[in-house]
Structure 1
C-alpha cells in the first residue's frame, strides 16, 4: 500500500505541507451559470462538471487542442503516460510517467491505473458511472506489468482505445484515497487527482474554489487560486467582468459580444463546439410511437432561422450527427437536415395524428438559448398542426420516464470518431436508451457494436453511414445546431478556450500579463 499523508495534514483536499503560493500569481474568479453537484470525475461527466475536473485530474493521454487544424484535439500527446504501443489487436501497452505525485502526497503508479479502469470504478453495478459501459464496455481488463507499465486488454479489437484513454471517464484517481472515501461517498466532495489545481473549498450552490498544486508534474500552476462562482444571471456576469470582479465569464450570448468587445480591457473569445444541442423524443409514448410523427416534428424545424435569430448566424447546423473532427470518417457529402413543412403535414396525416398534446420539457438556464429555442420550435410545430406545450422545470431529470415526451439535451463527441459521438450518446449504455429508456432499437445497436470493434477503415465508414441513416429514419430525436460558446475575459489573461467544454488552466494555456507572466 502506498504511503499517504495523515488526515491531520489534509483539509478540504489540500495539503498543508505543499509549498507556499508565489505572491505574483493571480487569484482568478470565473463566473459560471452553474456548478456541478459532485466532483467525482467518473460521475460528473457534464458540461459544467468537466470544466472543473479537467484541472484537478489528468488522463494517461491528452488531446492536444492547441495545435493541428482548427484545434480539433485529434492529435494525442503524452500526459501521465509517456508512451504507448500496440502489442496486438487487443492489447495496448502503456508506459507511465515516473515521479508523479497526487495532491495528497501519494505516489502515482500502475496500481492506480488498474483500479481507475476496474469494474468497481467504471463498469460494475455499483460503480459511480451509470454509463460506464458506453465508454469502456469493450475493455476486458487492465494488467500491471510493473510499477510503471500496464497493459489494456480489450474483448474485441478497438480502433479507438488510445482516444478513450484521453477522454471522458478516464481521469486517474488515487486507489487508496478513493477506497478510503468511497464508503461514505466522501470522494465526491473531496477528490484527489494529479492535476495542477486541487480542491480548496466546495460550496456548489455558491462557488467552488481550487488552489494551485505546486507539486504538479507539468510545472507550477500560473494562478494561485481559481474560484468558479455561480452567477446565473447573464447580465450580472457581464457587469462583473467589466467591473473587474470576474476574470472570465462563461455562456455569453451572441447579442452580448459587441457590448463586451466595446470595452478596452476585456474581450470575447468564441469557439463553435464539437457538441450539438439536440431534442430527445420518447418513442414509447403513445403519441410519439409512430416514427412518422417524429419525422414530421424534425421536418418542421427551421434550423437556419434558429441559428440566425438566436445565435446571430454564428452557430453551425451539421450535416448529420457528426463533426469535421472525424477526419477520414467524416461524411462530407451527407445531405443537410431538411426543412419541409408540407411534407411534415403529410406525414402527420398519414400517421393519424389528431392533435394530441405533445409536451416539451426544458430547464431555463442549463443550455444557452434553451428557452427561446424551445419557444420558437413550438411555434414551428404549431404551424404544421402539432399541438405542443412548454414545460419549464429546474431539473428535467426529475420527471418520470413514462411522463417525459420531449426534452432537450446536448451531445459532445467524446472522441473524434462516430463511435465517440452518435454511438456513445445514443447507444445502449448511455442516457437515451439506459437512463431515460426513450428508445429501444435493435438494428442500430447491432450496427454500432460492429462499428466499435472493426479495424478496417472502409468497413467502418460504411457502418457509420448505416448507423446515421438508421438514427435519422427512426428519429428518436434530432440535432438543432452546434452552439457558439463565447467567453468574456480580461485581455491581459492569455487563455484559449477549446472546442470542448474542458477549461484547460494548465501552465501552457494560462498566463497573466498583468502579473508579469
Structure 2
C-alpha cells in the first residue's frame, strides 16, 4: 500500500504545478504550508567540549557527551528516556553469531547530513584505520574493505589511543552486503553490543571525512546522522546546530539549538532568569530553590551513571606507600559532602559500580568508611612526615568543584595530611608531568552495563590513568585482560570484585566521593526531561513547547 507523507505530497505538488505551468500560483501556498514555526533555543553551558573538536573519538568528556547525541548516532542506541537500555539506532536488528561475532542489519534510507545514504561501507570506514586507529598499530588493512591507499589523514595521537581503549581486540568489520555488517573480535567478548552502542562508536560519512582538507577541518564540522547538524562551531565560544529535516526519525522539534559558553554558574542562572537563555546547565544544588522561586522556571535532573572520584598519582614520593592513599580515603566524610554541598540530592555509592550492571553488581561492597583514627594510624605506619601533596583542581568544571576541594583539603588536614590546592585552567595543566602531581579531581562513567566500560576502560592497562603514568598494578592489568575475554559470568563477577579490592583498598588508584547528579534549569513552558547520563536529548520524543 502506498503511503502519502506531507513531504511527498508537497514535492509532488511542486512537480505537477511546474509541468502545468501553474507553479507561480502554487509556490506561495506551498511556502506558507512549509512555514517553519519551530522554536530556536539557547543553552548556556560551562563548556562545549574540552578538545575544541566535535569528533567523539577525541572528545571523550562529560561536556562533550551533552551534544554528541544530537549530531551522531550509533548502530545500537541507548534509550535516554529510560535506563539506557539498548534500542535500535542505525541498525534495526542485531544477533550474536558466536562469542566473537555480532551481525547487524542497517536501517535502509537513513541519511547523513550531506544527503548520502548510510551503507555498510560507511560503517566499515567508521571503524577503520583512517578514522579510528591510524596506520601505526592498526588492525590489518586488508580486513577493512574501505581502505583507500594514501587516504589516511594524520590523526592526533589521542584518537588511536581512545580507539584502542574502546576496541582493544577488534579484528575486522565485514560488509556482508549493502545493509548488513559483522563485527568480528579477535577474542571472545560478552560486551560487544555495549561497545557498539557506546560513545566513540558513532557512524560517520566516509565521503565527508575524505573530502575534508584536514583532520581538524573534519573534526570541527563533522557529518553524522543525528537530528541536528553542525552549522557553526566557534571553539570556547558557541556551537550552533540546525534541524536536519531528512532525519530518518520524527522531524526535529527545534529549528536551531545554540550552545554558548558561560563558565560561571551565577552568570548562567542570571541569563536564564533574564530570558537570555532557555536552558542553563550544571546548576549547583544550593541554587535550585532560588531559581524555582520564579514561577516561569524549573530545575530538572538527578542521578546519572557517573561518579565523582579523586585520582592518585602514586609516582609522587608522598603517595608511593599505598597506606598514605588509603589514609586519604578514610579521612573523607562522604556523607557530609552529600548533605552539605549537595543538599542530600545525591548519594554515596558502593564503589565504582552501578546497579545497571545487573548480576555483575556487588551489593555488599562499600567505599572506605570515614574513620579519622584509622587514617592517622595508617599515616604513622607509613612514616608520613607531613610532606606536601599537590591537589590539582579546575575552576568548577564539575558542579561545586571548588567548594568540594576546600572541604576535602580540610578533612585531610584534620588527620595530618598536608595538601596544597593548585588551581589549573585546563586539562593539559591537570595532567602535566613537568611538575609533581599528587591528587586530582575526575569523574568516571559507565557507557554500558558492564564493569569493562568503567574500571577497565579508565583504570586498566589501556585506560587514561595508566596512559598518563599516574598508576599501574600488574594484577589489575592481568585481570583487565581476563575480564574482557572471559565468557564465564560467575568468574567475571569474582574478577571484578578483586579489581575493586585492588583499586579501592589495597593499592588505591582512586577513591569514589559520590554519585554524580546533574541539574538543568529551564523554562517551565518547555516540556523536556533529562537523561540518566550527561546527554541532552532534543528529539521529538523529548521536546515540546507547551504554551499556545
Is the shorter-chain TM-score for this pair beyond 0.5, marking a shared fold? yes
Match of 2:476 among 444, 456, 469: 444
Residue of structure 1 in register with 2:56 after alignment:
41
Other-structure match for 1:119? 129
User: Pick from 118, 140, 156: which aligns with 2:171?
Assistant: 140
Please say if 1:457 is aligned against 2:489: yes
List runs of 5+ in structure 1 lacking aligned partners.
Answer: 1-18
User: Which whole-Å deviations, capped at 9, do the CAs of 1:191-238 have from their partners, x for residues lacking one?
Assistant: 111110001111122211100010101121000000001112212211
Q: Does the residue aligned with 1:114 lie in a helix, a strand or coil? A: helix
SS of corresponding position for 2:130: coil
**Match for residue 411 of structure 1?**
444
Matches within 5 A, 1:253-264: 253-264=284-295
Instruction: Quote the Cα distance in structure 2 between the aligned partners of 1:464 and 1:476.
Output: 15
* Contact 1:299-1:340 at 8 Å conserved across structures: yes
Q: Distance in 1 between matches of 2:458 and 2:132?
A: 17
Report what 1:59 is aligned to: 74
Q: Is the 8 A contact 1:90 1:156 kept in 2?
A: yes
Of 472, 490, 495, 2:528 maps to 495
- Quick one: structure 1 residues 352 and 56, their matched pair in 2 at CA, closer, same or farther if it must change by over 3 Å? same
- Equivalent position to 2:94, from 79, 84, 100: 84
Residue 16 of structure 1 corresponds to none
Structure 1 residues 21 and 484 mapped into 2: Cα distance closer, same or farther (>3 Å)? farther
Asked if residue 486 in structure 1 is aligned to residue 499 in structure 2, the reply is no
Q: State the structure with more CA Rg.
A: 2
- What residue number does 2:6 align with? none
Root mean square deviation, CA, Å:
1.6
What's the offset of the Cα at 1:182? 6.1
After superposition, residues 9-24 of structure 1 pair within 5 angstroms as: 22-24=35-37
1:72 aligns with 2:104: no
Q: Are the equivalent residues in 1 in contact too, given 2:53–2:216 (CA < 8 A)? A: no
Aligned-pair distance for 1:83?
Answer: 0.6
Q: Does the CA-based 8 Å contact 2:456-2:463 persist in structure 1?
A: no
1:469 to 501, 504, 507: 501
- Matched with 2:17 is none
For 1:262-277, what aligned pairs fall within 5 Å after superposition?
Answer: 262-277=293-308
Whether contact under 8 Å (1:132, 1:429) holds in the other structure is no
Deviation at 1:21, TM superposition (A): 7.6
Secondary structure class of the residue paired with 2:320: coil
Alpha-carbon distance, 1:251 to partner: 0.7
Q: Which residue of 2 aligns with 1:511?
A: 544
C-alpha separation between the residues in 2 aligned to 1:190 and 1:22?
27
Distance in 2 (CA, whole Å) between partners of 1:179 and 1:443 is 42
Q: 1:21 to 1:467 in 2, by over 3 A?
A: farther
Separation in 2, partners of 1:416, 1:102: 29
Give TM-score scaled by structure 2 length.
0.87
Q: Tell me by how many angstroms 1:105 deviates.
A: 1.3
Partner Cα distance (1:347, 1:120) in 2: 50
Task: After TM superposition, give the deviation of residue 100 of structure 1 in Å.
Answer: 1.4
Instruction: Identify the residue that residue 115 of structure 2 maps to in structure 1.
Output: 105
Q: In structure 2, what is the equivalent of residue 310 of structure 1?
A: 341
**Cα 1:56–1:261, aligned 2, differ >3 Å: closer, same or farther?**
same
Once residues 34 and 406 of structure 2 are traced to their aligned partners in structure 1, the CA distance between those partners, rounded to angstroms, is 49
Matches within 5 A, 1:107-186: 107-124=117-134, 125=136, 127-128=155-156, 129=159, 130-181=161-212, 183-186=214-217
Do the aligned residues in 1 keep the contact of 2:187 with 2:485 (CA within 8 Å)?
A: yes
Residues 396, 144 of structure 1: CA spacing in aligned structure 2 closer, same or farther, 3 A cutoff? Answer: closer
Q: Is the 8 A contact 2:70 2:227 kept in 1?
A: yes
Confirm or deny: 8 A CA contact 1:361 1:396 kept in the other structure: no
Distance 1:182 1:328 in 2: 48
Q: Distance in 2 between matches of 1:333 and 1:447?
A: 21
Q: Name the counterpart of 1:426.
A: 459
SS in structure 1 at match of 2:408: helix
Q: Distance in 1 between matches of 2:368 and 2:541?
A: 39
Partner of 2:221: 190
* Aligned residue in 2 for 1:8: none
For residue 133 of structure 1, report the CA deviation from its aligned partner: 1.5
| 1:88-125 C-alpha deviation (Å, 9 max, x unpaired) | 11111110011111101122100110011123333344
Residue in 2 that maps onto 1:3 = none
Residue 11 (structure 1) aligns with: none
- Structure 1 residue 184 displacement after superposition: 4.9
- How many Å separate the matches in 2 of 1:441 and 1:120? 33
**What whole-Å deviation, never above 9, does each CA across 1:359-390 have from its counterpart, x for those lacking one?**
10110121111111111111111111111111
Q: Secondary structure at the match of 2:385?
A: coil
Q: Which runs of 5+ in 2 are unaligned?
A: 1-30, 137-153
SS of residue matched to 2:131? coil
Name the counterpart of 2:39: 26
- Residue 12 of structure 1 is matched in structure 2 by none
Deviation at 1:485, TM superposition (A): 0.8
> Shift of residue 272 of structure 1?
0.7
Name whichever structure is richer in helix by fraction.
Answer: 2
Residue in structure 2 matched with residue 15 of structure 1 by the alignment: none
